[in-house]
Chains A and B, each alone.
Chain A
Amino acid sequence: DQQVKQNSPSLSVQEGRISILNCDYTNSMFDYFLWYKKYPAEGPTFLISISSIKDKNEDGRFTVFLNKSAKHLSLHIVPSQPGDSAVYFCAASSTYSGAGSYQLTFGKGTKLSVIP
């Protein structure tokens, strides 16, 4: 049973436009969410995160929105650039000490292609 779902395997966007990547989760214990970016032949790199006490977090061109009631988060990239072309993974974790470890549960990823 997938606890973190990225239902779009791929997304193509024109350079300069907005890219919106979506992620849904099912585990109510998750309260910390992250986006990672991965280029071919490299490991994932951290992009941005959000705690469940917030509904929005911005870092430059990247904004993550969290809708707790819908168990949904999204990553907005504005404006999109060709260098943003990569696979984006959504990940979730639980910060409750009783939950044990703080391992990340990842979605399957969305491949973003930004067309010049």
Chain B
Amino acid sequence: KQEVTQIPAALSVPEGENLVLNCSFTDSAIYNLQWFRQDPGKGLTSLLLIQSSQREQTSGRLNASLDKSSGRSTLYIAASQPGDSATYLCATSMDSNYQLIWGAGTKLIIKP
């Protein structure tokens, strides 16, 4: 049974720093992996989707990598800004029906 773990659970850094959020999963036979952000009281916003055949995806200051063999994905945020403060969640899908298995999230606070 797939398990997804996100470390750390919370992170607070000064503005401008580059940072890495980690996501690990126990079953490497994933269909894809997605990173989301959730602002307090809001829905989730998809950030990056990495298919099982891909190694990384980039969008603006965000870069997500995928290493299936080690069961890891990282989300790299460059030049962090206070507006990046949110909870970041990763989720894996084992098939095309997208029954996602979720991590518990990393709550990120960027201090001005």
Q: Do A and B bind each other?
A: no
Residues of A whose CB lies within 8 Å of any CB of B are none
